[in-house]
């Protein structure tokens, strides 16, 4: 009986040790997760900007992703404390007239602190009671920076410098999200033409690209597409979808079953821009697909409340975002 008891105890000890070793060994095989700096959206910079009297003279509060603090006054914002995030909240100054847009705000994420709320909305601009124009603005957050002050509505993508240096090759992008759209028709409203309906359903989206970039003698930026993860949110998800992981695919994906044309190289009107060595914001020209074993130089990551591009979307489409991580 004593031997049976000792044998039973020995078996329990061995099983416990095996469980410990298996856990430790498995942990080394499991993915490494890296939170993108300030990607938990728990701290925000506030900006207090007084708009020009000619457009109402109200003081507006803008939000930027970064350390808790302020950056007040009608002045060009620059990313603070190493924050890699820019957003579609803007300070514009056209012919000396100051106007703002706020389409990204902090919001509560129960159990997780704060999150980013991206909303498609109409921005009204009424000048001295005579001129009254409206523009549809999509809520966006992205890795990069905005070139403030905005001085025109031409080529909206050219106002953003997109992407940050990255030479590692993540396996996936992971984040929490929820998405809601009222299901109404998409519209196009630029402020300079009549409002028109646009076919198709509005969707939120995430674009995650790894590129190998280089610059030519004239300052043009070229790139090969190394990795791709493009996701559109087509269904309303009233509850948070937490810890969702989306694989990044390397090399040419045009022959994959999931491939859609919008995952390929951008048209001229939707091309991303970046600052060159001369300090000029220029288009990133994707020349082709890299081989799967190529090492990237930059990461592009952008989230939008509407997927149609500048001035197109459904008013009220909203994407909540939190805990953005790279998985290795």
pLDDT at position 127 is 72
18 by Cβ neighbours in 10 Å (0-12 / 13-18 / 19+) ranks as exposed
- pLDDT, averaged across the chain: 91
- The helix/strand/coil state of 56 is coil
pLDDT tens figures, 75-98: 999 999 999 999 999 999 988 999
Query: Rounded to whole angstroms, how far apart are CA atoms 286 and 142?
Result: 19
Backbone φ/ψ region at 251: left (φ over 0), alpha (ψ -120 to 50), beta:
left
Query: What does the domain layout of the chain look like in residue ranges?
Result: 35-327
- Lowest average pLDDT, out of 29-33, 115-119, 190-194, 222-226, goes to 29-33
The whole-number average pLDDT for the span 27-44 is 85
Query: Long-range pairs for 33-36 at CB < 8 Å and ≥24 separation?
Result: 33/174, 33/325, 33/326, 33/327, 33/328, 34/170, 34/325, 34/326, 34/327, 34/328, 35/323, 35/324, 35/325, 36/84, 36/143, 36/301, 36/324, 36/325, 36/326
Query: Rounded to whole angstroms, how far apart are CA atoms 30 and 129?
Result: 61
Query: pTM of the full predicted structure?
Result: 0.89
Tokens of 229: 């993860």
Query: Rounded to whole angstroms, how far apart are CA atoms 76 and 90?
Result: 9
Give the CA-trace dihedral at 311, 99, 300, 254, to 10 degrees: 10
The whole-number average pLDDT for the span 197-203 is 96
pLDDT at position 12 is 62
Domain 35-327 top-level CATH class: mainly beta
pLDDT at position 300 is 98
pLDDT at position 131 is 65
User: Is pLDDT above 90 for 306?
Assistant: yes
pLDDT at position 128 is 64
pLDDT tens figures, 5-34: 555 555 666 555 545 444 444 444 456 999
User: Is pLDDT above 50 for 237?
Assistant: yes
The beta-strand segments (E) located in 95-220 are 97-101, 104-108, 114-119, 121-127, 131-137, 140-146, 160-162, 164-165, 172-180, 186-188, 196-198, 204-215
> Among all chains, which residue has been given the structure tokens 């990133």?
284
The whole-number average pLDDT for the span 58-70 is 97
pLDDT at position 26 is 42
Pairing relation of β-strands 44-50 and 69-70?
parallel
Are residues 125 and 132 in contact, defined by beta-carbon separation less than 8 angstroms? yes
User: Is pLDDT above 80 for 270?
Assistant: yes
Query: Rounded to whole angstroms, how far apart are CA atoms 315 and 99?
Result: 20
pLDDT tens figures, 125-152: 877 666 678 899 999 999 999 999 999 8
Return the closest-CA partner of residue 227 out of 261, 256, 253. 253
User: Is pLDDT above 90 for 253?
Assistant: yes
pLDDT at position 28 is 41
């Amino acid at each position: 009986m004593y031997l049976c008891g000792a044998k039973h105890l020995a078996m329990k000890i061995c099983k416990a040790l095996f469980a410990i070793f298996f856990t430790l060994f498995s942990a080394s095989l499991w993915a490494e997760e890296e939170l993108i700096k300030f990607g938990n959206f728990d701290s925000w910079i506030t900006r207090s900007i007084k708009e020009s009297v000619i457009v109402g003279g109200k003081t507006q509060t803008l939000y930027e992703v970064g350390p808790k603090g302020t950056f007040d006054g009608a002045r060009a914002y620059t990313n603070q404390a190493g924050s890699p995030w820019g957003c579609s909240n803007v300070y514009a100054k056209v012919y000396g007239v100051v106007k703002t847009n706020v389409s990204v705000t902090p919001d509560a994420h129960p159990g997780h602190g704060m999150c980013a709320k991206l909303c498609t909305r109409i921005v009204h601009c009424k000048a001295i009671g005579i001129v009254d124009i409206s523009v549809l603005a999509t809520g966006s957050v992205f890795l990069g920076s905005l070139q403030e002050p905005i001085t025109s509505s031409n080529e909206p993508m050219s106002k953003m410098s997109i992407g940050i240096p990255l030479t590692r090759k993540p396996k996936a992008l992971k984040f929490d999200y929820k998405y809601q759209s009222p299901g109404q028709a998409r519209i196009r409203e630029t402020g300079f033409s009549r409002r028109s309906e646009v076919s198709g359903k509005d969707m939120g989206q995430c674009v995650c690209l790894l590129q190998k970039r280089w610059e030519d003698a004239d300052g043009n930026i070229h790139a090969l597409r190394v990795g791709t993860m493009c996701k559109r949110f087509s269904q309303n998800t009233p509850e948070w979808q937490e810890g969702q992981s989306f694989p990044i695919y390397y090399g040419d994906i045009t022959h994959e079953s999931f491939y859609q044309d919008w995952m390929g190289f951008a048209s001229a009107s939707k091309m991303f821009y970046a600052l060159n060595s001369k300090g000029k914001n220029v288009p990133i020209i994707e020349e082709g697909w890299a081989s799967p074993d190529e090492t990237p130089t930059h990461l592009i990551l952008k989230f939008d409340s509407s997927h149609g591009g500048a001035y197109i979307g459904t008013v009220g489409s909203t994407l909540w975002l939190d805990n953005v991580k790279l998985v290795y």
